Amino acid sequence: MGTLPPDDLPRSPTGRVPKWVMDQAAGRPVDEVPFRPPTGPSPLGTDPQSPRTARRRATNALVGVLVVAIIGGGMYWSISRGAGVVPPGVTADRTAGADTTTGAVPHDRPPAGHEETRRPKGLPVGGAHESPTSNFHFTGHQKDRTTPVTWSPCRPIHYVVRPDHAPHGGATLLHSAIGEVARLTGLTFVDDGATKEAPIEDRQPYQPDLYGDRWAPVLITWDAKNEVADFGTDIIGEAAAQEVSTPAGDYAYVTGDVRLDVTWFTREVTTAHGRDMARATILHELGHLVGLAHDGDKAQLMFPRAQDAVVDFGSGDRAGLQALGRGPCQPGI
């Protein structure tokens, strides 16, 4: 006979304790963990980090869609492979490090070392590390389970933007956020212009017919609900980075994608505070793209729910971004 759940665990309106709650309370691994938006306290604290994609959820989350649940009257959002900030009145996203490619044969990859220099192209802002007690977490780790997976700082991160559906002022917000992440990490971002590539699941990191003999650039798209099935329900953004194995035996990010719900952003950019929250949301997603996961400190932008007064990276976020900018060069990929 199974053990009855403790009375203090969160329950659904039917009185059932969800499996993810039971698993986490018992210390078992949890693949998907929901969190409350600012309307109520988080039932279990900081989410466990795992290399999965994060999706941002809006307030009209549906019970039974993915693992989203309405428990104790609060909206929750599910996490798998990292996570995303929840804007005020909004419930979620899901982030970040994407599938690991191992044992790839040469035709699966571009020639190694494209644009790789002998030294990092830039340095994280401030030079010195932030306080070691600052709060931050990484999306992916090397085999030692401590060292983060990073982008090579010795080559630029190329990105393309599909302009379809872009809200008024969206490009300005996007490039402002990219500039801030570049400044804090020391990583170099290069705008390769517009693309017609559409967002798809299992996007290939090497697409020579479309982008030549190099890793595909990061794809950023403004999407309607007919393109991203979760948009138009409770999700307003997704971000993922893709990692590959290297000859040195570690892993490195080489490309990724960011998807933004055009309906939500179009509404938010109509007010000054809405624009601040829209930019903060993009910053959060880019944080996932470069390798940051969620943190339980409400003063950080990588906290899983948005705080009205937090529209820029906090000290912990900056410490994590600095560390992610100090990864090794990767001439072997």
Kindly tell me the burial class for residue 125, based on how many C-beta atoms sit within 10 Å of its own C-beta (0-12, 13-18, 19 or more). middle
Are 262 and 243 within 8 A, CB to CB?
no
Q: What's the confidence (pLDDT) of residue 6?
A: 53
pLDDT of 188 > 60? The answer is yes
Q: What's the confidence (pLDDT) of residue 126?
A: 60
Residue 190 located in a structural domain? yes
Task: Give the chain's length.
Answer: 333
Determine how many CB atoms are found less than 10 A away from the CB of residue 70.
15
| pLDDT confidence bin for 249, thresholds 50/70/90 | very high
Residue 2 located in a structural domain? no
Residue 44 located in a structural domain? yes
Q: What's the confidence (pLDDT) of residue 122?
A: 85
Residue 6 located in a structural domain? no
What whole-number distance in Å separates Cα of residue 164 and Cα of residue 58? 22
14 or 109: which leads in pLDDT: 109
Residue 179 located in a structural domain? yes
Residue 1 located in a structural domain? no
Q: What's the confidence (pLDDT) of residue 288?
A: 95
pLDDT of 274 > 60? The answer is yes
Query: The CATH number of the domain where 133 resides is what?
Result: 3.40.390.10
| pLDDT confidence bin for 229, thresholds 50/70/90 | confident
| pLDDT confidence bin for 121, thresholds 50/70/90 | confident
pLDDT in tens, 133-154: 578 999 999 999 999 999 999 9
94 or 254: which leads in pLDDT: 254
Instruction: Give the range among 100-114, 189-203, 317-331 with minimum mean pLDDT.
Output: 100-114
pLDDT of 56 > 60? The answer is no
Domain count for the chain, please give it: 1
110 or 33: which leads in pLDDT: 110
DSSP-derived secondary structure letter, 37:
-
* Residue 299 identity (one-letter amino acid): A
pLDDT, the chain, mean: 74
> What is the CA 183 to chain-centroid distance, rounded?
18
Q: What's the confidence (pLDDT) of residue 47?
A: 34
pLDDT in tens, 290-315: 999 989 999 999 988 778 899 999 99
Which range has the top average pLDDT, 8-12, 201-205, 231-235, 236-240? 201-205
Residue 269 located in a structural domain? yes
Q: What's the confidence (pLDDT) of residue 54?
A: 43
pLDDT of 208 > 90? The answer is yes
Residue 3 located in a structural domain? no
Nearest to 240 by CA among 223, 259, 227, 224: 259
Q: What's the confidence (pLDDT) of residue 12?
A: 40
Nearest to 109 by CA among 216, 202, 195: 216
The parent domain of residue 316 ranges over 19-324
Instruction: Give the range among 100-109, 132-141, 188-197, 201-210 with minimum mean pLDDT.
Output: 100-109
User: Looking at residues 170-184, what average pLDDT do you find?
Assistant: 97
pLDDT in tens, 58-99: 322 222 222 222 222 222 222 223 333 333 333 334 333 333
Q: What's the confidence (pLDDT) of residue 325?
A: 96
